A and B are shown apart, each in its own frame.
Chain A
Amino acid sequence: MLIQVVRTGGFAGIERRAEIDTSGRPDAHEWHALAGEAAAAGRGLRMPGAAIPDGFSYEITVDGQTFHCAEPQLSDAQRELISRVLKEGA
């Protein structure tokens, strides 16, 4: 499973992107569960229309399926997934 995160906006307006390929990872099932939960919370939400000033916006792609979310409307699963991919991903 390939999980990609693109973060845009924020006070600095600096884009950050990272991705994680879970194939072969011992914790792959954990990533899959987390990505599934994050995507479920993002389903039905379209591209956030009106972002809040200086808030981060995220584009998350899990195996080619993209969803969007933005601060402060993040579920815990989304927040955790984003933070882990940006920290541990390349």
Chain B
Amino acid sequence: MEAIHPVFCTIVPPHVLDKLARAEDPALAGPARRTLEADAQQRTHRRLTTVIGAPSLAPSPGAADNKVHRLIHDAQHKTDLPGKVVRKEGAEPFKDATVNRAYAGLGATFELLLKAFGRNSIDGEGMPLIASVHFDRDYGNAFWDGEQMVFGDGDGEIFLDFTLPVDVMGHELAHGVTQHTANFSYFGQPGALNESMSDVIGSLVKQYVNDQTAAEADWLIGQGLLAERVQGVALRSMKAPGTAYDDDVLGKDPQPATMDDYVTTGRDNGGVHINSGIPNHAFYLLADALGGKAWERAGQIWYDTLTAGTLSTTPTFADFAQATVAASRARYHDGEETQALLKAWEQVGVPTTQKKAKL
């Protein structure tokens, strides 16, 4: 079905605009340049939001009532965000299962944050949860752009639809929570902590949805995301980092479980998806030692640490570990929680005592 559209600047691809903006005729160059500037401004705004944290906006509609406000968009296989609104809060299920999974996953994450930690949405003030699905074509990724979640359909060869695992949706939304709280920078150890926090919350969402104890949970991230031909069960394992996949095309899961195997690399923003295995495993060890529902005590300590306001935006693993100990002592004193926590960090080789002077 081919419709003829009038030419709007907004639907002209940037590379055409680039050319037009350089045109000698000001009637052509002017509008093109303005569109490019507007586009660049929007991107810069998003970039700044992820770097310096979100500005405080006017109170959201959900601020007062502790209710979720979801808005699911269909990017319609294009790359303009957010795309077309297809399901608003309270609307009936849509004819598209991907849309409905995103709606449910965002709802589950909102509920965990509220019920377990008393947090009202990403910003604590009822911020609407915005997601776009069907981003681009065969797009094997999901990301948080500073303001919303974005999910691809996968290429079908290696990755399936990124809305399939609920923990992936929790993971992306948790990036928003981190941005609005401790705002760990996305590089090196702070970046790996940012990633780990998202894996922890993502896994807790899955456990919460399935009403599982720490012993019952699979502690996998992205289980169900890999296509059938891939040799692997998931993308990461918090219980056994480094064992999630071993495949001809994907290679082997590179995650370390302890500091002995810490990976120094400039790739992947300094290995943020690699070394996150270490704090991930520490969380697992704590939750496993305590037993019961992982979000109740282990999750509470992690959430307290994230929101305590005592960490810089560039903490090392050791800084973070020390802050978890402080958070645990504040809530549980020297009880079994704190004892298990100290042991967990010791097992992964991250010191919890201050040895070095603060920079």
Q: Which positions in A face B, CB cutoff 8 Å?
A: 8-15, 37, 40-41, 49-57, 71-77, 79
Complex contact B144–A53 (CB within 8 A): yes
Answer yes or no: B235 CB below 8 A from chain A CBs: yes
Complex Cα–Cα for A41 and B171 (A): 31
Closest 9 CB pairs of A and B: A13-B273, A54-B143, A53-B175, A76-B13, A77-B15, A55-B143, A53-B144, A50-B51, A10-B141
* Complex: A37 Cα to B222 Cα, angstroms: 36
How long is the Cα–Cα vector from A66 to B41 in the complex, in angstroms?
A: 25
Inter-chain contacts of B150 with A (CB < 8 A): 72
Interface size on B, residues (CB 8 A): 45
The answer for the CA separation of A76 and B47 in the assembled complex, in Å, is: 19
Max chain A Cβ within 10 angstroms of own Cβ: one of B14, B43, B146? B14
Q: In the complex, what residue of chain B is closest to A38 when comparing beta carbons?
A: B15
Most B-side CB within 10 Å, residue of A8, A12, A56 = A12
Bound: A10/B159 CA distance, A: 12
Q: Are B81 and A72 in contact, with the CB atoms below 8 A?
A: yes
Which residue of A14, A37, A79 contacts B79 across the interface (Cβ within 8 Å)? A79
Closest Cβ–Cβ distance, residue B302 to chain A (whole Å): 17
What is the bound-complex CA distance between A41 and B16, given in angstroms? Answer: 12
Q: A50-B185, A51-B269 are in contact. List 5 more A-B contacts (CB 8 A).
A: A37-B15, A41-B14, A52-B143, A73-B43, A79-B79
Chain A hits for B162, CB < 8 A: 11
Q: How far is the CA of A23 from the CA of B330 in the complex (A)?
A: 66
Given A54-B175, A73-B43: A11 in contact with B251 (beta carbons within 8 A): no
**Cβ-closest chain B residue relative to A75:** B14
Contacts of A8 in B (CB 8 A): 267-269
With A11-B235, A40-B18, A76-B15 already in contact, the answer to whether A54 and B269 are too (CB < 8 A) is: no
Produce 1/0 per residue, B244-260, CB < 8 A to A: 00000011001000000
- Beyond A53-B186, A75-B15, A79-B79, whether A11 also contacts B50 by CB under 8 A is no
In the assembled complex, the Cα of A37 lies from the Cα of B195 at a distance in Å of 34
CA–CA, A64 and B144, complex, Å: 32
Taking chain B's interface residues, is the majority helix, strand, or loop, or is none over half, making it mixed? mixed
For A10, give the chain B residue with the smallest CB separation: B141
In the complex, are the beta carbons of A11 and B186 less than 8 A apart? Answer: no
Residues of B1-56 at the interface with A, using a CB-CB cut-off of 8 Å, are: 13-15, 18, 43, 46-47, 50-51
* Chain A positions within 8 Å of B273 at CB level: 9-13
Which of B185, B222, B269 meets A11, CB within 8 Å?
B222
Asked if residues A76 and B50 are in contact (CB atoms below 8 Å), the reply is: no
Q: A50 is contacted by which of B14, B143, B186, B251 (Cβ under 8 Å)? A: B186
B233 in contact (CB, < 8 A) = no
- Could you tell me which residues of chain B, from 78 to 95, have a CB within 8 Å of some CB in chain A? 79, 81
B198 beta carbon closer than 8 Å to chain A: yes
B274 at the interface (CB under 8 A from A): yes
Which residues on A sit within 8 Å (CB–CB) of B195?
A: 53
Q: Which residues of B contact A73 (CB under 8 A)?
A: 43, 47
From residue A75, how far is it (CB to closest CB) to chain B in Å?
Answer: 5
Known: A52-B145, A54-B144. A11 touches B43 (CB 8 A): no
Considering the chains assembled together, what is the distance between the CA atoms of A71 and B145 in angstroms? 9
Whether B50 lies near A50 (C-beta < 8 A) is yes
CB of A58, distance to nearest CB on chain B (Å): 12
Q: List 27 A-B contacts (CB under 8 A).
A: A10-B143, A11-B142, A12-B235, A12-B273, A13-B254, A13-B273, A37-B15, A41-B15, A49-B51, A50-B50, A50-B51, A50-B185, A51-B187, A51-B269, A52-B46, A52-B143, A52-B146, A53-B143, A53-B195, A54-B144, A54-B171, A54-B175, A56-B143, A73-B47, A75-B14, A75-B15, A76-B14
